[in-house]
Amino acid sequence: MRKSLLLLSIVAITTAFIVSGIYLAEVQKGTSAVYSELKNLCDEFVTGIEGDVENIKEVISDYTYSFSFSSNKLSEFVAGLQNRIEGQDFYIVLNSGDQVDAFGYYKLVPGSFFPLDERKEPWFLKAREFSENVYISCIYLERGKLYVDISFDIGNIEGVLRVTRIPLNSATKYLTKKERYGMVLTDKDFVVIASNDYQKGSKVPALEKVSEGLNKFDSGDTWLVKKLSISGQTLSTAFYVNKDIIESQKKKLRERYTLWVLILIALEMLFYIFIIRRRYVITIEEKEESSKSIIVPIISLFVALGIIAVLILIFGENPLYGIREMFSYAFLSRAGLSETLNKAVPITIDAFGLAIAFYAGLWNIGMEGQFYLGAIGAVWISVFLIPGAPVWIYFIIIPLFSILMGAIWGLIPGFLKVRFGVNEILSTLMFNYVAIRIVDYLVYGPWKSSSVRNFPLSDPIPVKLPKIPGTDVHVGIFLLPVIALLLWFVFQKTTLGFKWKAIRLNNRAARYAGMNPRRFLLLAMVISGAFGGLSGAIHMMGAQYVLQSHFSPGYGYTAIIVAWLSGLNPCGIMISGPLLAGLFVGNARLELLMKFPVAVSSFFQGIVLLTLLVGGFLQRYHVKVIPRTGKVKQHV
């Protein structure tokens, strides 16, 4: 006993040390990455600002040399320059103190307030020193965009041209590339231009001592100083990484790895209890009468959301913000709700079809392929078989032909099941990939649109479902309650529904009662596939319009979760379909906002399906943990 506890303690401490080492390595790696990124950004910014200023200088120089100066043409010169450079104030200060802009000549009158005597301003004096060169007066940030004020000595007229608020587009692009960085720039003192901590014009402590390279100061910020050489001027540019950003990153890493330590130690304790000590055993007993309450799927869904929240925390983001953003965008925003309802149409129709197969005891995993075949049928009949037909004909013939295509795709694995005993899970799953490759062949080959050269697309179908006024949702959504009521009637009020249920519960007993299970199982697969074909047609007419490679993000697979979440209840499918579609849309929102990988969306859906399966298992079986001395019927 003592040796086992000692071993467990050593393993736990070792785990903590290993994870701590990984944490420190990640911190060092992240900090180094920030510094490296800072250097690269600094180089890009320097290149951008030098390019912007050189372009401005070139425009001014070329225009100045090509212009024929005279005292009565100075206003014309300023006006012409305004048409060549984007800026705010354009004017010339002559050596006499007089000023000229695009609207006229203003003589300096001693004692007058206008025009001001600007001959003693630094930009005027510096421009004289930088004769025949652009002098940068200052660079500043305003509303997220960088601007420069410049002055230029025009020797032809013995005056200095001044232009203010010229945008630096390339430099702005690089500076605003990363929000974590700030920048300072001046020719004499370090004046803050963009910062989270300092206001424009304030002095940064200890920056006078900064040399090339990375340095740390009392403020805790990290600075990188670069020298710019522009038009003969040497400007110092200091980029910094705010200490709060680094600390925030370290805090996220600490939370993530602390959670991992707790999870690993908990797993080690379970391993010790059940494997090493073998004090307890898990027993599984089938319930005499299993409940079909809708509460269990709902609880399973909330458990899945809890697991997703933990994973968001492990990814280093705020889980409450992530879950709230998922649902608020998918169900409370106009754009998100429209996208949710449009995605809910194919998902829910597919789930209706799967409910038929599952209700009969068949595992139809091929709804994705049947959905693809429905889309193929919609394009085939409307674009290639009967092009140019009246619109009302298409509204009838496209769904019917797609239903036929989906039914055939469900008939093949159904026949293999009832005739040769081929497992329908494997056959339907493989048929999904066959359908996807058929679409690839068509859009890259004979069906590729001649009007689009670089993209594998078919020509669009000639008919579109109308939108609900004031929304982007197509009218195909009104088909969902009709199908739900029809399926409910079939399941609950018809002999066909009774026979499907009897075959699912006890195939042998149904056969002894005079039923033909093969016939009804084949019928269930055909009807299930037909719903997939209908789903593909509605989606093509309402949202997709053209056939393209991998146009489905996995509607057929999501429909499996919807069918299980509803407990095969058609009315429950009406609720769980839009709910899972919203989760689909919300996951895509997280990918955008939190920079999650694309695979996270499928990962979250897998978590939902797993919790539903576990919930269904617990609904059917008693799971107990008892001391090993007790007698058990079955143990794992």
**pLDDT for 148 beyond 50:** yes
**pLDDT for 203 beyond 80:** no
How far apart (Å, rounded) are the C-alpha atoms in residues 281 and 277?
11
Q: Which of 279-293, 294-308, 517-531, 543-557 has the highest mean pLDDT?
A: 517-531
Q: Which of 164-178, 253-267, 468-482, 519-533 has the highest mean pLDDT?
A: 519-533
Sorting pLDDT into bands at 50, 70 and 90, what band is 130? confident
User: Mean of the per-residue pLDDT values for the chain?
Assistant: 77
**pLDDT for 278 beyond 70:** no
Sorting pLDDT into bands at 50, 70 and 90, what band is 7? low
Are 118 and 109 in contact, with CB atoms under 8 Å apart?
no
187-201: pLDDT as tens digits? 333 333 333 333 333
Q: What is the pLDDT of residue 263?
A: 73
**pLDDT for 366 beyond 80:** yes
Q: What is the pLDDT of residue 287?
A: 73
Q: What pTM was computed for the model? A: 0.60
Q: What is the pLDDT of residue 235?
A: 61
How far apart (Å, rounded) are the C-alpha atoms in residues 148 and 497?
77
Are 600 and 590 in contact, with CB atoms under 8 Å apart?
yes
Q: Which residues of 32-43 are buried (b: 16+ CB within 10 A; e: fewer)?
A: eebeeebeebbe
**pLDDT for 594 beyond 70:** yes
- Of 343, 364, 381, give the one whose Cα is nearest residue 529: 364
Stronger pLDDT, 247 or 350, i.e. the higher one: 350
Q: What is the pLDDT of residue 636?
A: 42
How far apart (Å, rounded) are the C-alpha atoms in residues 417 and 357?
13
**pLDDT for 137 beyond 80:** no
- Of 378, 307, 318, give the one whose Cα is nearest residue 541: 378
Are 159 and 214 in contact, with CB atoms under 8 Å apart?
no
Are 497 and 355 in contact, with CB atoms under 8 Å apart?
no
* Lowest-confidence segment of 262-266, 474-478, 535-539 by average pLDDT: 262-266
Helices (H), 445-506: 479-493, 495-505
Q: What is the pLDDT of residue 333?
A: 87
Q: What is the pLDDT of residue 215?
A: 40
65-77: pLDDT as tens digits? 777 766 667 888 8
Sorting pLDDT into bands at 50, 70 and 90, what band is 23? low
DSSP one-letter code for 475: G
Domains of the chain: 30-242 (no CATH), 345-596 (1.10.3470)
How far apart (Å, rounded) are the C-alpha atoms in residues 412 and 432?
12
Among residues of the chain, what percentage have pLDDT more than 70?
A: 69
Among residues of the chain, what percentage have pLDDT more than 90?
A: 29
Find out whether the peptide bond into 570 is cis, omega within 30 degrees of 0.
Answer: no
Stronger pLDDT, 568 or 105, i.e. the higher one: 568
